[in-house]
Amino acid sequence: MNSLVSDTLPAITADRITIRGGKPLTGRVDVRGAKNLATKAMVAALLGDTPSLLQDVPTISDVDIVTRMLEAYGVAVSKPASGELLLDPANVERAHFEQIDVLAGSSRIPILFCGPLLHRLGEALIPDLGGCRIGDRPIDFHMDALRAFGAIVDKSYEGIRITAPNGLKGANIELPYPSVGATEQVLLTAVRAEGVTELKNAAIEPEIMDLIAVLQKMGAIISIEPNRVIFIEGVDRLEGYTHRAIFDRNEAASWASAALATKGDIFVAGAKQQELMTFLNVFRKVGGRFDIHEDGIRFYHPGGALKPVQVETDVHPGFMTDWQQPLIVALTQAEGVSTVHETVYENRFGFTDALVEMGADIVVHKEGLESITRRVPRRKLEQAAVITGPTPLHGADVRVPDLRGGFSYLIAALTAEGTSTITNLGIINRGYEHFTDKLAGLGADFSIEA
Ligand code: EPU
């Protein structure tokens, strides 16, 4: 298959990086559009009758995968300028299952094709889903929501086949948990369903709000009510959009943690205060400093000791699960005992084993910990990591387990005295654009090998 974007994806063909750490990271990095919005906005383009233009698209492999999936369905994808994708759905058709299967193996985005494909083609076929191995990551909320719209879900030898012989009708849906993906599933399906959909217990992450902005530009009627309720009035037709993706909060928070852990000073161009408020509070409590500017945020270590914190991951506006891995590296350098409770995924502390190998004192409690300071003592799947610091880190040979865990290994290796080798680098390229160039710009001492 000839994919324009994959042809221009910059070379992180290297699978191994050797880092000589112990040097503060200083300088500027530019953060572009969020992976977790751009990929969804690309899927939304399938719903339009006319082409869509998405701006500030990061050059990451998740975008590449979605590009190739859209192309498999007949969407013409071109790149009119740097960071732009023009998506023309004029000739959408059924894709060959083999193409989709090969592509889907490394991403969870295919599940979000269901609604748009049902509207356009009357059926959707979803193969086994990929994405980071951070827990079970079931799709029951997605399938229940699609059934509520009138879809029929059948398991076939190829995967899950979803059809809608009588069309899709607006529905009353209450999610058991404010899942980001399931909320997107409902939005992408309800906008063209017949009648009104009421979604209760919806996710309200800034990337969801940005997807709603995209859909509104396309002609959708969506109102956000108090208490996580969203109403969607189905319309007959949607047009293409022109939209600049919201900045990547996860990448911004990752570089901020890198500045703190390495005693550095990083200006994250493109980062905005509003969407990072909860992160900024924790960053300040740990002892990091930040200056908010019009065009970005400067994150720095002011000298002296860092302080321990108690953090619990949560849905927005809580502390994002994607922020905890980079932060934990910085917490290994704080004076005292920090606790991080993970309440979103059931298995997102696996990466800490490698940090322990590098000298960190981290104990993971699989059943969580009782403590009166906890804010969200409600999910069975929680785990707690207790980090005692400060501990000097030393170099080690480690393998990237997942996207955010992988980035935290980069930070740990940059913080550590001595040399570290990190393999399986390709996973980091799923969500961090040009990260080796950015590291070089921040003065990191490293070499990469294929
Ligand atoms: N869940 C179910 N059933 C479902 C769907 C979700 O039980 O049908 C559970 C999950 O197993 C998990 C929890 O609900 O325990 C939260 O999952 P959610 O659906 O909110 O997450 P997601 O849509 O799969 C997105 C991001 C993640 C990010 C989470 C939380 C994308 C592509 N992924 O995942 O990002 O951590 O929301 O904000 O948008 C990453 O970027 O590295 C990443 C993993």
Provide the residue-wise pLDDT of the chain in tens; the chain has 450 residues.
344 444 444 444 568 999 999 999 999 999 999 999 999 999 999 999 999 999 999 999 999 999 999 999 999 999 999 999 999 999 998 877 777 777 766 677 889 999 999 999 999 988 766 555 555 568 899 999 999 999 999 987 777 889 999 999 999 999 999 999 999 999 999 999 999 999 999 999 999 999 999 999 999 999 999 999 999 999 999 999 999 999 999 999 999 999 999 999 999 999 999 999 999 999 999 999 999 999 999 999 999 999 999 999 999 999 999 999 999 999 999 999 999 999 898 889 999 999 999 999 999 998 888 765 555 555 555 789 999 999 999 999 999 999 999 999 999 999 999 999 999 999 999 999 999 999 999 999 999 987
Which of the listed residues 195, 222, 244 is the one where a domain comes to its end?
Answer: 244
Same domain, 195 and 253: no
Query: Can 132 be counted among the known catalytic residues?
Result: yes
Protein residue whose Cα sits closest to atom 15 of ligand 1 = 345
Atom of ligand 1 nearest to the CA of 142: 8
Which of the listed residues 244, 268, 294 is the one where a domain comes to its end?
Answer: 244
Q: CB of 65 closer than 6 A to ligand 1?
A: no
Give residue 406 CA to ligand 1 midpoint distance, Å.
18
Atom of ligand 1 nearest to the CA of 178: 20
Which of 141, 180, 316, 433 is the best mutation target for the ligand 1 pocket, counting ligand atoms within 8 Å of the beta carbon and taking the most? Answer: 180
Atom of ligand 1 nearest to the CA of 180: 20
Q: CB of 133 closer than 6 A to ligand 1?
A: no
Same domain, 149 and 280: no
Atom of ligand 1 nearest to the CA of 108: 32
Q: CB of 344 closer than 6 A to ligand 1?
A: yes
Q: What is the pTM of this model?
A: 0.94
Same domain, 300 and 228: no
Structural domains counted in the chain: 2
Catalytic residue among 47, 54, 114, 132: 132
Same domain, 163 and 275: no
Q: How far apart are CA 276 and CA 273, in angstroms?
A: 5
Atom of ligand 1 nearest to the CA of 181: 23
Same domain, 364 and 333: yes
Give residue 193 CA to ligand 1 midpoint distance, Å.
24
Range of the domain at 443: 5-31+247-449
Which of the listed residues 244, 279, 314 is the one where a domain comes to its end?
Answer: 244
Q: CB of 60 closer than 6 A to ligand 1?
A: no
Which of 36, 69, 107, 204 is the best mutation target for the ligand 1 pocket, counting ligand atoms within 8 Å of the beta carbon and taking the most? Answer: 36
Same domain, 236 and 251: no
Give residue 181 CA to ligand 1 midpoint distance, Å.
6
Same domain, 164 and 278: no
Q: CB of 67 closer than 6 A to ligand 1?
A: no
Same domain, 260 and 310: yes
Give residue 139 CA to ligand 1 midpoint distance, Å.
10
pLDDT at position 370, please?
72
Same domain, 335 and 251: yes
Give residue 75 CA to ligand 1 midpoint distance, Å.
26
The CATH number covering residue 20 comes to 3.65.10.10
Q: Cα 99 to chain center, whole Å?
A: 24
Give residue 344 CA to ligand 1 midpoint distance, Å.
8
Atom of ligand 1 nearest to the CA of 140: 8
Same domain, 187 and 257: no
Give residue 395 CA to ligand 1 midpoint distance, Å.
32
Same domain, 39 and 16: no
Protein residue whose Cα sits closest to atom 28 of ligand 1 = 322
Q: CB of 132 closer than 6 A to ligand 1?
A: yes
Contact 319, 342 (CB under 8 A): no
Give residue 428 CA to ligand 1 midpoint distance, Å.
18
Same domain, 229 and 264: no
Q: CB of 182 closer than 6 A to ligand 1?
A: yes
